[in-house]
């Protein structure tokens, strides 16, 4: 009697601990930003054109490539006269500011994840690091 009660309690605990949907299933309008985020299934990304007050909101955002690898941080948001984001200057490479350079990534290649304050690009890290340095 004691063993069957223990087994029943264990089965109920295990059933409650499992997610209700299989991994990899995401809700509409959600895109994964790398393997770890895809497994969490919590990242909701929006096009950078949908971000309100982009110059203020994106000022300290980190930037990652399409695999979820960190590549740098936002240095400056470039907007047109209408206030739409055209491109983002990103500080890439280096360590503690030594050996880093500024590159420009077009807005079309970026999506914003508000809950983590992260911009995700469609480019990979080697491609970003090989972009020409811009002068400020």
Which pLDDT tens digit goes with each residue over 30-44? 444 454 544 444 568
Percent of residues, the chain, with pLDDT higher than 70:
64
CATH number of the CATH domain containing 115: 2.30.30.240
Query: Is residue 59 domain-resident?
Result: yes
Q: What is the pTM of this model?
A: 0.63
91-109 per-position pLDDT tens digit: 887 666 667 889 999 999 9
Higher pLDDT pick, 24 / 82: 82
- Asked whether 74 and 60 are in contact (CB, 8 A), the reply is yes
Residue 70 belongs to some domain of the structure: yes
The answer to whether position 15 is within a domain reads yes
What pLDDT score does 26 carry?
A: 39
CB 64 within 8 A of CB 70: yes
CB of 61 closer than 8 Å to CB of 73: yes
Q: What are the two backbone dihedrals, phi and then psi, of residue 72, each rounded to the nearest 5 degrees? A: 160, -160
Of the candidates 37, 38, 63, 34, the residue with the CA atom closest to the CA atom of residue 48 = 63
> What is the extent of the structural domain holding 28?
2-129
CA distances from 129 to 40, 64, 92, 93 (A): 28, 12, 7, 7
């Amino acid at each position: 009697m004691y063993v069957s009660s223990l087994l029943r309690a264990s089965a109920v605990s295990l059933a409650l601990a499992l997610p209700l949907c299989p991994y990899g299933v995401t809700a509409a309008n959600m895109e994964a930003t790398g393997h770890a985020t895809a497994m969490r299934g919590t990242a909701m990304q929006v096009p950078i054109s949908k971000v309100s007050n982009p110059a203020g909101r994106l000022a300290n955002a980190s930037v990652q490539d399409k695999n979820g690898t960190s590549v740098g941080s936002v240095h400056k948001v470039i907007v047109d006269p209408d206030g739409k984001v055209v491109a983002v200057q990103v500080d890439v490479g280096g360590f503690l500011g030594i050996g880093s350079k500024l590159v420009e990534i077009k807005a079309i290649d970026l999506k914003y994840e508000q809950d983590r304050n992260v911009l995700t690009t469609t480019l990979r890290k080697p491609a970003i690091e090989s972009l020409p340095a811009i002068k400020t």
